[in-house]
């Protein structure tokens, strides 16, 4: 059997409302048990898994015995708050059966567009991953208004994949994958096996969602394009297919693969180069250059000899050798004054110098492009 070659050390798995909520009858606990078992197998194989799970509103509706989705915002948000309890409880107990801890992470669009909160969110997720915890992420529906909401969790999944530098985004839904037209409307629709995420014609084939889902295939294509910009491929597949996650990770040609045009490193470099102006420079010693170029590690303050320019936490800075040779660019975790204070200092001294910090790295590996 032909197999796909996919990197899958760090994966984001998004499970949609249409799939999770057993046709509007509340959470499908049997399905959750099955996905949790597959996630546990991947976890045991050393995979780092981040889950983006919808279903709060649908579960809230069932708990409140509502026959339809509320059409006013406070009722919708209240439903999400009620249902989110059931959602995290279901995932937490299903994964705990495999001795895996979970963490609830609720995000809004604002959290990921503000550079400080973007960095904090990324650092927290990385800490959870390092502790081998599976984060269970959803939109923070109780505070999200139209201006700040993602609306669908496909977009959230893609932004999380970019945030943590995932190797792969898997979107599980109620169809076998992406078809050349909506299979719900046309039984002659053909399943696409592999496409370029940036192919514009995909939008002509992607339709809207069902009663329970929010975005349909359009938001999944948009999500795949967002993920592709950070070099991450997306798989869209049926959550109902037997052992779907294990088979996808094994490379079986299930569902639809949406491929990025550039690999992760190139994409990250392009993104850093295109979107952000460098605001300052860090002069590195030889040990730090070796750590970045050969050991592929994060940049620690101890290897920074000097700090040039005025920058804020979250700005992009250039890392250069003492001879001025460009080594890397990346998003810095300290402002220039703090960076100057901790430069040349061991990590153990950082809290004493700056107080409790969200991160002790000057630039995290995931936020850096090395030349
Ligand atoms: N080209 C297409 N291929 C597959 N599904 C499509 C396509 N266009 C529209 N859809 C619809 O998208 C739906 C899945 O999206 P959605 O209802 O938002 O689910 P989810 O909650 O899983 O995100 C499918 O049930 C299908 O009707
Ligand atoms: N945040 C919402 C999910 C939004 C939603 O349904 O998105 P999707 O699964 O992409 O169709 C909830 O938990 O109900």
Provide DSSP, 203-240: HHH-----SS-SSHHHHHHHHHHHHHHTT--EEEEETT
**Ligand 1, pocket residues at CB < 6 Å:** 16-19, 54, 173-175, 178-179, 181-184, 205-207, 209-210, 213-217
At 40 the pLDDT is 98
Predicted pLDDT at 114: 75
Q: State yes or no: pLDDT of 353 exceeds 90.
A: no
Ligand 1, atom nearest to 176 Cα: 4
Mean pLDDT of the chain: 90
Residue 216's pLDDT is 85
Please give the pLDDT value at position 271. 67
Question: Is this prediction's ipTM beyond 0.90?
Answer: yes
Average pLDDT over residues 332-339: 94
- Expressed in angstroms and rounded, the spacing between residue 214 Cα and the centre of ligand 2 is 6
The span from the CA of 188 to the CA of 181, in Å, is 9
State the distance from the centre of ligand 2 to the C-alpha of 369, rounded, in angstroms: 33
Rounded to an integer, the average pLDDT of 288-305 is 95
Smallest-distance ligand from the CA of 158? 2
Q: Confidence band (pLDDT; 50, 70, 90) for 146?
A: low
Tell me the average pLDDT across 284-310: 95
Distance 90 CA to ligand 1 centre (A): 24
CB atoms closer than 10 angstroms to residue 154: 33
Q: Specify the DSSP element, H or E, that contains 150.
A: none
Predicted confidence at residue 268, as pLDDT, reads: 73
Q: Please report which confidence band the pLDDT of residue 150 belongs to, taking 50, 70 and 90 as the band edges.
A: low
Nearest bound ligand to the CA of residue 19: 1
User: In whole angstroms, what is the distance from residue 215 CA to residue 38 CA?
Assistant: 26
Left (φ > 0), alpha (ψ -120 to 50) or beta: where does 324 sit? left
CA 308 to chain centre: 32
Q: By the 8 A CB rule, do 360 and 350 touch? A: yes
Four-way CATH pick for 10-262: 3.40.1160.10, 3.20.20.70, 3.30.413.10, 1.10.10.1150:
3.40.1160.10
Percent of the chain scoring above 70 in pLDDT = 93
Judged against a pLDDT cut of 90, whether residue 269 lies above it is answered with no
Q: 3-state DSSP call for residue 280?
A: strand
The residues, any chain, with a CB within 8 Å of residue 66's CB and separated by 6 or more, are 79
Cα 359 to Cα 50, 125, 343: the distances in Å are: 20, 12, 15
Residue 213 in this model has a pLDDT that exceeds 60: no
Per-residue pLDDT at 273: 63
Ligand 2 pocket test, candidate residues 14, 16, 52, most atoms within 8 A of CB: 16
Query: Would the pLDDT of 62 be above 60?
Result: yes
pLDDT band at 110 (very low <50, low <70, confident <90, very high): confident
Chain region(s) in the chain for CATH 3.40.1160.10: 10-262
From ligand 2's centre to the CA of 251, what distance in Å?
27
Mean per-residue pLDDT for 165-169? 94
DSSP class of 363: B
Question: Within the chain, which residue ranges are assigned CATH 2.30.130.10?
Answer: 276-370
What distances in angstroms separate CA 140 from CA 53, 68, 96, 228, 334, one per listed residue? 12, 21, 24, 25, 27
Q: Is the pLDDT of residue 212 over 60?
A: no
Decide if pLDDT at 274 tops 70: no
The residue whose CB lies within 8 Å of the most ligand 2 atoms, and thus the one to mutate among 152, 169, 222, is: 152
Residue 310 near residue 280, CB atoms below 8 Å: yes
Please state which of the ranges 81-85, 144-148, 245-249, 300-304 shows the lowest mean pLDDT. Answer: 144-148
Any idea what DSSP says for residue 304? Answer: E
For residues 247-256, give the mean pLDDT.
Answer: 96
> What's the pTM?
0.84
**For 276-370, which CATH class?**
mainly beta
Per DSSP, 164 falls in state: T
Which distant-in-sequence residues (6+ apart) come within 8 Å of 308 by Cβ?
280, 281, 282, 283
| Average pLDDT of the segment spanning 23-48 | 92
Alpha carbon 9 to its chain centroid, in Å, reads 13
């Amino acid at each position: 059997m032909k197999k796909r070659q996919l990197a899958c050390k760090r994966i984001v798995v998004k499970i949609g409302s249409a799939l999770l909520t057993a046709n509007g009858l509340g959470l499908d606990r049997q399905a959750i048990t099955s996905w949790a078992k597959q996630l546990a197998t991947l976890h045991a194989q050393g995979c780092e898994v981040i889950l983006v799970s919808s279903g709060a509103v649908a579960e809230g509706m069932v708990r409140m015995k509502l026959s339809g989705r509320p059409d006013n915002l406070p009722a919708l948000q209240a439903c999400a708050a009620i249902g989110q309890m059931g959602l995290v409880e279901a995932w937490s107990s299903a994964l705990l059966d495999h001795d895996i801890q979970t963490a609830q992470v609720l995000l809004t669009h604002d959290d990921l567009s503000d550079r400080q909160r973007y960095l904090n969110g990324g650092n927290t997720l990385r800490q959870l991953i390092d502790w081998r915890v599976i984060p269970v992420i959803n939109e923070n529906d109780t505070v999200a208004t139209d201006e700040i909401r993602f609306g669908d969790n496909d977009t959230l999944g893609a932004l999380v994949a970019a945030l943590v530098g995932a190797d792969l985004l898997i979107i599980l839904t109620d169809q076998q994958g992406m078809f050349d037209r909506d299979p719900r409307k046309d039984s002659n629709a053909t399943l696409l096996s592999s496409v370029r995420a940036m192919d514009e014609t995909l939008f002509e084939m992607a339709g809207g969602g069902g009663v329970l889902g929010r975005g349909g295939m359009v938001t999944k294509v948009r999500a795949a394009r967002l993920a592709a910009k950070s070099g991450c491929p997306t798989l869209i597949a049926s959550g109902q297919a037997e052992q779907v996650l294990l088979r996808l990770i094994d490379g079986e040609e299930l569902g639809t693969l949406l491929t990025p045009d550039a690999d992760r490193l190139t994409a990250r470099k392009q993104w850093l180069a295109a979107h952000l102006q460098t605001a300052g420079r860090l002069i590195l010693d030889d040990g730090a250059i070796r750590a970045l170029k050969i050991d592929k590690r994060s940049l620690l303050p101890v290897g920074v000899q000097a700090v040039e320019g005025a920058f804020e936490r979250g700005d992009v800075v250039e890392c250069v050798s003492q001879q001025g040779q460009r080594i890397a660019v990346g998003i810095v975790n300290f402002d220039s004054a703090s960076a100057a204070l901790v430069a040349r200092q061991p990590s153990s001294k950082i809290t004493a110098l700056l107080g409790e910090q969200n991160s002790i790295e000057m630039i995290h590996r995931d936020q850096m492009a090395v030349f």
